[in-house]
Amino acid sequence: MNPSNTDAHRHHDPEARGFASDNYAGAHLEVLAALTLANGGHQVAYGEDDYTDNLQQIVRGHFGATAQAFPVFNGTGANVVALQAVTDRWGAVICAESAHINVNEGGAPERMGGLKLLTVPTPDGKLTPELIDRQAWGWEDEHRAMPQVVSITQNTELGTVYTPDEIRAICEHAHAHGMKVHLDGARIANAAASLNVPMRTFTTEAGVDILSLGGTKNGAVFGEAIVVINPDAVRKMKHLRKTSMQLASKMRFVSVQLEALFAGDLWLRNARHANEMAARLAEGMRGIDGVEVLYPVQSNGVFARLPHDVSERLQKSFRFYVWDESDSVVRWMCSFDTTEEDVDVFLAALKEETAW
């Protein structure tokens, strides 16, 4: 018997669940079915396939007639290539101190993109025109990297969501200073579900120039896309994608996943469910001694302050991240496949551990 076919050699428990990251979830079955469909026969490589072509129509349906999608492998690649496309070699990017590009991308914007990040502390992960102005200066000073882009994350790394009006105010302010606006949309679906508006309402209609469209956290195996909304703001996207090692030869396998998510409402169904599970998790924490939810739960993440010893005991059974060990802050993320039972089992364990 081939040992790879036995249960004894299964690599993981397919029933296991955790709250560490929406990246821990598998792929949605509809996405897997789409991959199987795309696997038949031969298709032209490097983006000249039928699936990538059809993705353009889908993206224009969401973001407007000028929108163009450039599929890439991952979120860091999407952010770095997008930011390179709207900056000069001497350019800088204004972002929140907590932004993914600053905290969680291993210095890729600096090392791979040659970008200077000008960070601003924020109370809730959200920039404002006033906060942007802390770094929006010195355009003619050759001794300072020139602020050329404002990068925001929707929803933010702290689970909060910008309203369309807040993003519009940022775009108007940035454009008045000659800067472009990039939106990191790794969880853009969760933001749209939370706001109950189309994605274009807080992107195209608000004035965003370019964005990173997330797929992996919302049910894809891998793959994101850079969406150029304002073609006048962007330079040499195809060349930047290639030189940044983000050009997939078999691009149809990235594009078909995004097609499966965004051609219909799968992206929205997945995001709504993840958000609802996070709301259920937060609601269940009410009245549990020693647990303090820190930010409004507006998407699929819950941030809380929890005694360190309780976190250690819980982590023996459930995977999750300690967000800020010095302040005992933890993060719990829900996914498209998180169930009510998953949440309730975790809450029961949390109540038990805090009762020690």
Spatial strand order in the sheet of 146-153: 68-72, 224-228, 210-213, 180-185, 146-153, 91-96, 116-120
Bridging pattern class, strands 180-185 and 210-213? parallel
* More confident site: 287 or 126: 126
Report domain 3-25+266-354's class.
alpha beta
- Other C-beta atoms closer than 10 Å to the C-beta of 339 total 13
How far is the C-alpha of 248 from the C-alpha of 262, rounded, in Å? 20
Of the options 3.40.309.10, 3.40.640.10, 2.60.40.420, 3.60.140.10, the CATH number for the domain spanning 29-262: 3.40.640.10
Q: Which two tokens stand for residue 248?
A: 């997939």
Runs of H (alpha helix) within the chain: 29-38, 50-63, 75-85, 100-103, 108-111, 129-132, 164-176, 188-195, 237-243, 252-262, 266-284, 308-314, 340-354
Predicted confidence at residue 1, as pLDDT, reads 45
> Which DSSP string do the residues of 9-23 spell out, in sequence order?
G-SS-TT---SS-TT
**How much of the chain, in percent, has pLDDT values that exceed 90?**
91
Q: Which two tokens stand for residue 338?
A: 């998180």
Q: Is the pTM of this model over 0.85?
A: yes
Asked whether the beta carbons of 62 and 198 are under 8 A apart, the reply is yes
Predicted confidence at residue 50, as pLDDT, reads 97
Predicted confidence at residue 2, as pLDDT, reads 55
| Annotated domain spans of the chain | 3-25+266-354, 29-262
pLDDT at 211 over 70: yes
